[in-house]
Amino acid sequence: AESSNSGQEVSTPVSNEPSSSDMVSASNISEVKGLLYTIQIGVYKNAVTKEQLMNLNPIYMEPTGTGLTRYFTGIFTNMQDARRSQQNIREAGIRDAFIIAYRDGVRMSISEARRIAENEGNNVFASDQNSNLASVQNEDVNYRIQVGAYKEQVPTNIVSQFLSVAANQGLDQTVMGSTTIYTVGKYNSYEEASTMKSVLINEGIPDAFIVAFKGKNKITIDEAKEILGQ
């Protein structure tokens, strides 16, 4: 059964309503022709903000007919790419993201999609809808090492530890909804970020992992690699 709140919805006590620029802009997945895999990242009753969907893009949607709307990100023509993106999205904070298949707007199981691909060949797949990511400006796209995420006030000793291990790499904090994310460094290549992640793990932060940002928005590792041509 699908959850009506897949992906974390946060309730932030603010006085102002989100502006239109804060709301998710999504294409209807039924308009995409051909067979495809995509990542379902949430089912919501009300309109959602970009922050609620972790600032992922591109975003697709599908009304369920029961007053709910499903949201997806990415169009993939093979399961390997879809699984890699799913893992990145889960690491970014949407823990229950999962892969689903469509053909000409009709939802189907992964096993059914595989059977169709085996019987009809690769020509049945949708054109690569993610290719437009390569043309997105790579300004302010970088990799960072996430060292912590907190919804409550962070103990000063934890912040002191982060500052100590960050050294001259720089420690940033980014507020996403009700969560404050702490990251170390800004790197233009995944290899540089991977090296720093190993350093931080050795320095006593075993849960450190690589994330990617475009400006102030968190994106997937795959999207960053595509934008940066890596």
Would 57 be classed as within a structural domain? yes
Assess whether pLDDT exceeds 60 at residue 38: yes
Q: What is the mean pLDDT of the chain?
A: 82
Residues 181 and 203 in one domain: yes
The larger pLDDT score, comparing residue 203 to residue 60, is at: 60
pLDDT, position 129: 52
Q: What is the pLDDT of residue 6?
A: 43
Q: Are residues 46 and 97 in the same domain?
A: yes
**Choice between 163 and 41, residue whose per-residue pLDDT is larger:** 41
Q: Are residues 83 and 156 in the same domain?
A: no
Q: Which domain holds residue 91?
A: 20-129
Please tell me the predicted confidence (pLDDT) of residue 21: 66
- Angle of the 79-92 helix axis to the 221-228 helix axis, nearest 10: 110
Q: Where are the alpha helices (DSSP H) in 60-174?
A: 79-92, 110-120, 156-166
Check residue 80 and give its pLDDT: 87
Mean pLDDT of 201-227: 89
DSSP letter assigned to residue 49: B
Measured in whole angstroms, the distance separating CA 91 from the mean position of its chain's CA atoms is 8
> Nearest 5°: phi and psi at 157?
-70, -30
Residue 117 lies in a domain: yes
- Measure Cα distances from 173 to 71, 149, 159 in Å: 27, 9, 10
Q: How many domains does the chain have?
A: 2
pLDDT at 42: 94
Is residue 12 assigned to a domain? no
Mean pLDDT check: name the lowest of 40-54, 58-72, 151-165.
151-165
- pLDDT, tens digit (0-9, with 9 covering 90-100), for 88-121: 888 777 889 999 999 999 999 999 999 999 999 8
Q: In terms of pLDDT, which residue wins out, 94 or 20?
A: 94
23, 26, 227 from 132: Cα distances, Å: 21, 15, 9
Query: Which residue, 105, 129, 153, sits at the end of a domain?
Result: 129
Average pLDDT, integer, range 166-194:
85
**Same-domain check for residues 65 and 149:** no
- Residue 221's identity, in one-letter code, is I
State whether 48 and 24 are in the same domain. Answer: yes
The answer to whether residue 135 scores a pLDDT higher than 50 is no
